[in-house]
Structure 1
Amino acid sequence: MTTARDLAIVALDAAAGRSVEQGDLSLALAGAEVFDLMEAGALVLDGDRIRPGAPAPTGDRLLDEAAAALVRQEPYESVEDWLWRRGRGLSTAYADDLERVGLTARPRGRRIPLRAGRTVPVDSEARRRAEDRWASDEPVLAALAAAVGLREEPAEEPAEEPDALTADPATTVLATVGDAVLELEAVRQRRTIENAAFDNIWRGY
Structure 2
Amino acid sequence: MTTARDLALVSADPPGGAVVERGDLSLALAGAELIDLLAAGALTLDGTRLVPGGPPGTSDALLSEAAERLRDGGPGESVEDWLWRRGRDLAARYRAVLEEEGLVPPERRGRNPLRRHRDAAADPSAAARARERWASGDPVLGALAAAAGLTERGSEEQSDGLTDDHAAVLAAVLQAVTELAGERQRRTIEAAAFDNIWRGN
The one-letter code matched in structure 1 to 2:131 is: E
Residue 157 (structure 2) pairs with residue 168 (structure 1): no
Contact 2:37 2:56 in 1 (8 A): no
The one-letter code matched in structure 1 to 2:97 is: D
Corresponding residue number in structure 1 for 2:112: none
Contact 1:50 1:79 in 2 (8 A): yes
Gaps in structure 2 of 5+ consecutive residues = 110-114
Q: Distance in 2 between matches of 1:196 and 1:73?
A: 37
Corresponding residue number in structure 1 for 2:143: 143
Q: CA-to-partner distance for each residue in 1:137-175, whole Å, 9 max, x for gaps?
A: 10000000011211134442799xxxxxxx811110010
Q: Distance in 2 between matches of 1:158 and 1:124?
A: 27
Q: CA-to-partner distance for each residue in 1:89-120, whole Å, 9 max, x for gaps?
A: 000000000111121124xxxxxxxx755644
Which one of the candidate residues 161, 164, 174 is aligned to 1:178?
174
Q: CA deviation at 1:54?
A: 1.6
Q: What's the % identity of the aligned pairs?
A: 58
Which segments of structure 1 move beyond 3 Å, counting only runs of 4 or more?
72-75, 115-121
Contact 2:26 2:89 in 1 (8 A): yes
Contact 1:71 1:77 in 2 (8 A): no
Q: CA-to-partner distance for each residue in 1:38-81, whole Å, 9 max, x for gaps?
A: 11111111110110002244110100110110126763211000
Contact 1:4 1:36 in 2 (8 A): yes
Corresponding residue number in structure 2 for 1:198: 194
Contact 2:49 2:78 in 1 (8 A): yes
Corresponding residue number in structure 2 for 1:46: 46
Contact 1:12 1:119 in 2 (8 A): yes
Name the larger-Rg structure: 1
Gaps in structure 1 of 5+ consecutive residues = 107-114, 160-166
The equivalences for 1:1-205 within 5 A come to 1-14=1-14, 17-71=17-71, 75-106=75-106, 116-117=108-109, 119-120=116-117, 122=121, 124-156=124-156, 168-204=164-200
Corresponding residue number in structure 2 for 1:112: none
Cα root mean square deviation, aligned: 2.3
Contact 1:27 1:177 in 2 (8 A): yes
Contact 1:29 1:90 in 2 (8 A): yes
Task: Count residues in correspondence.
Answer: 190
Q: CA deviation at 1:124?
A: 1.0
More helix by share: 2
The one-letter code matched in structure 2 to 1:54 is: G
